[in-house]
Amino acid sequence: MMNLAQLRAQLEQSFSPLACECLVDGDHSLTVKLYHPVSGQVDLVVSGLKLDVLRTAESVAGLIEELRYELESNSLRSSRDPDLA
């Protein structure tokens, strides 16, 4: 099973140069925030991820794929409509 520090390190490596913040909520769910380390601009926040599902390298790889999709979707949306940025 991957611990929170390992998960964060893998996310940071996968989304570099973005920084990653991983917080465990009271219900043992995970919130992941990806942001620019210098400006602090937040690119993506995803909450309610179940920690017990993120036990294997395969499940973490799946999470990374989903986060990449969401990050790309947010980037496309904000580039098309400046009011959504």
Tell me the per-residue pLDDT of 14-55, one tens digit each, with 9 for 90 and over. Answer: 999 999 999 998 888 999 999 999 999 999 999 999 988 888
Output the CA torsion 38→6→64→71 (10° steps). Answer: -20
- pTM of this structure: 0.80
Q: What strands lie across the sheet with 19-24, from one edge to the other?
A: 19-24, 29-35, 42-50
Residues with Cβ within 8 Å of 85's Cβ and at least 6 positions away in sequence, in order, are: 78
Please give the Cα distance from 31 to 33 (Å, whole number): 7
Tokens, residue 28: 């043992």
Spell out the domain ranges in the chain: 4-77
**Residue 68 pLDDT more than 80?**
yes
Which residue reads 């996310």 in tokens? Answer: 11
| Sign of torsion over alpha carbons 16, 50, 5, 56 | negative
Q: How would residue 80 be classed by pLDDT, with cut points 50, 70 and 90? A: low
The band of 78, judged by pLDDT with boundaries at 50, 70 and 90, is low
Residue found by looking up tokens 């992941």 in the block:
32
